[in-house]
Structure 1
């Protein structure tokens, strides 16, 4: 895993806006409508070819495939695993429920929108087995071939490349269990299945980013009416499951993203970072991707002081918000980066990133595509300014 040895490197958190036609295809499939799989494959590959040069032009050093060939950051597992069927409505977000006027406004914003909803997932009704190894490998190879083609053509590329995969915890929390006797059995089965995807990504030479919103978000969803101890026990069990699934992947090839939900909302029911950091830092990963542009959590950069994380772990600091159409001023971005560097005590261990993805499930993003690229350009410029002050 690269470090910011002489300048602050830039990255983002995975999902980037998908073309409207591709989004429509994913949304149709998620509703159970008939869709030609070859049409989805072709549209996804075309979107991949467009998304890579856009990242490079925006100044992203460590980029990915924008998750263009998936319908969402975790919902794609229903096409790569057995055992899923039907659907259910996810528990509501506690902070949104506390504000009925805001809730109504939020519902109006998404009414009739062409999108894949993270809140209408399937249920587990049978044994979980991973059957999508060929699809996972193809996604990796498509990305690798594109990067290699650019290199052969003498075109600029990424300093390093990554691909994402979900935490078993978000699958278990979001996809209701109607098959396994215990949650631990369900969690172990999903962990074993996702190990195949983790190893496929690492085996193709990419950084693996684990998307683990469950380690914060589920506190005010699945565990909103339960004692904090129950939630922290869940976090510990998920971290342990991930560490088992990563046993064949080098620590320095993995980074982990955690957040409180990629939505504009009150967030006043969020669990504090200081409460979960000692647990999530036990994950056998080389980097933590944390959201510090979030106005509810920006002050928590102080949690990085001292020995909060291991000496060999780095921090990808979210310094760009992924839920609003404000384009952050590069000077603000630079100040945020510098603050994280001061808290951690070493700018070499800091990268600049985004709080979360811009399109975590197809069509769900609220930031306009042209604004996304302006935000990423501001990220790059802010990192350049901070580098001049820190190195």
Structure 2
């Protein structure tokens, strides 16, 4: 996974869906087309999106998360919602976590989690959040989240097999040599309303055992699995009132231990972990600083660590990596272009950001990336321009560093 002669590039996963795929998703949900019809549309779309990534110059490609159903062109939750169709033990409900307020208690630390409407950042900027002209929350379809009412099992074997087949075929066709697929973390999986498990620990470990099947299938296919886990950083803002940092670290430690349980025996060089503070385009003044999270992050059994770093709330935190103790055989995958602004970063800025991280951990251990998924957050034309700037900046940084 280490660089040898240049800075390699990748992204976090979600890319804008095509109108054809969005229409096929809707038709399948409504029973108007078959699974085979949907997978045929996905296969064609993955072929095209991998070709686009290669044309732009992305090194470590993926399927655009085209196997993770988006409700509409604007969708902040597809990275999580896709799991609902791949898990047994769930019962449909009328709950939409972006539009309702619900609290549940977790341990250790007696942490009380809330839904989006009761977050501290939203409380601080309530007028802005509730003003549709602010652009913080753009138009989206309501998505109903299920409840856990029975033992969790993994039922997504056909779906993950289709993801694998589609990506590997597209990679072979385009000459791509490194590919990844994103999968939900146990901690994020456990954010579904629970009516079955007696304790937080039982719930999180049940999620770990279920999702391990997806991780293993991806790794066994020779691909990299990216663990998507906003729950490690984002949950801080979801706790109201603000907890003590040490209580919060105890809360996320359980989730890290469960994730490592799910990753046991899997080769670390085929695992990367994605940390972010959430994808909504808000002020983020209540984000927990990376200085509190970097040690827990490095305790995760992954070969690469992806995180937001172009986000202006966290762009200064690159300095922490100089003293973080990153193992020599591991890499960081910092975001050097952002998903939360329509402004396309200049390649010189991208190169400077890459150079900062290279000075902290070494040029061999920096893979340039995006902050988070671009699909569902940015117009396709802007998303493509940002990937182009990412590649151009990485080439510029490579000329400086190699």
**TM > 0.5 fold call:** yes
- In structure 2, the residue corresponding to 1:74 is in which secondary structure? helix
1:42-66 Cα distance to aligned partner (Å, 9 max, x none): 3222221211111011110001001
Task: Return the alpha-carbon distance in structure 1 between the equivalents of residues 374 and 240 of structure 2.
Answer: 26
Instruction: Name whichever structure is richer in strand by fraction.
Output: 2
Q: 1:103 aligns with which of 100, 105, 129?
A: 129
In structure 2, the residue matched to 1:140 is 164
The answer to whether the 8 A contact 1:314-1:349 is kept is yes
In structure 2, the residue matched to 1:153 is none
Pairing 1:50-65 to 2, within 5 Å after superposition? 50-65=48-63
- In structure 1, the residue corresponding to 2:154 is in which secondary structure? coil
Pairing 1:25-174 to 2, within 5 Å after superposition? 25-26=24-25, 33-38=30-35, 39-71=37-69, 72-85=78-91, 86-90=93-97, 91-92=115-116, 93-106=119-132, 113=139, 115=141, 117=143, 120-148=144-172, 150=173, 156-173=174-191
The unaligned stretches of length 5 or more in structure 2 are 70-77, 98-114
CA separation of 1:178 and 1:108: change in aligned 2, threshold 3 A: farther
Task: Return the alpha-carbon distance in structure 2 between the equivalents of residues 53 and 60 of structure 1.
Answer: 10
CA separation of 1:107 and 1:165: change in aligned 2, threshold 3 A: farther
The answer to whether the 8 A contact 1:64-1:162 is kept is yes
CA separation of 1:188 and 1:144: change in aligned 2, threshold 3 A: same
The answer to whether the 8 A contact 1:26-1:116 is kept is no
The answer to whether the 8 A contact 1:45-1:69 is kept is no
Q: 1:351 aligns with which of 355, 359, 367?
A: 367
- In structure 1, the residue corresponding to 2:323 is in which secondary structure? coil
CA separation of 1:130 and 1:21: change in aligned 2, threshold 3 A: same
Task: Return the alpha-carbon distance in structure 2 between the equivalents of residues 81 and 184 of structure 1.
Answer: 18
Pairing 1:268-283 to 2, within 5 Å after superposition? 268-283=285-300
Task: Return the alpha-carbon distance in structure 1 between the equivalents of residues 164 and 216 of structure 2.
Answer: 11
CA separation of 1:168 and 1:317: change in aligned 2, threshold 3 A: same
Q: CA deviation at 1:372?
A: 0.7
In structure 1, the residue matched to 2:16 is 17
Q: CA deviation at 1:277?
A: 1.0
1:122-147 Cα distance to aligned partner (Å, 9 max, x none): 22122101122232122212211222
Number of residue pairs aligned between Structure 1 and Structure 2 = 373
The unaligned stretches of length 5 or more in structure 1 are 151-155
Task: Return the alpha-carbon distance in structure 2 between the equivalents of residues 28 and 103 of structure 1.
Answer: 32
- In structure 2, the residue corresponding to 1:331 is in which secondary structure? helix
The alignment yields a C-alpha RMSD, in angstroms, of: 2.1
CA separation of 1:190 and 1:133: change in aligned 2, threshold 3 A: same
The answer to whether the 8 A contact 1:290-1:317 is kept is yes
The answer to whether the 8 A contact 1:88-1:176 is kept is no
Task: Return the alpha-carbon distance in structure 2 between the equivalents of residues 290 and 178 of structure 1.
Answer: 32
1:185 equivalent in alignment to 2:184: no
Task: Return the alpha-carbon distance in structure 2 between the equivalents of residues 305 and 223 of structure 1.
Answer: 33
Task: Return the alpha-carbon distance in structure 2 between the equivalents of residues 37 and 107 of structure 1.
Answer: 39
Task: Return the alpha-carbon distance in structure 2 between the equivalents of residues 233 and 318 of structure 1.
Answer: 27
- In structure 2, the residue corresponding to 1:83 is in which secondary structure? strand
Q: CA deviation at 1:225?
A: 4.1
Q: TM-score, normalised by structure 2?
A: 0.87
Q: TM-score, normalised by structure 1?
A: 0.90
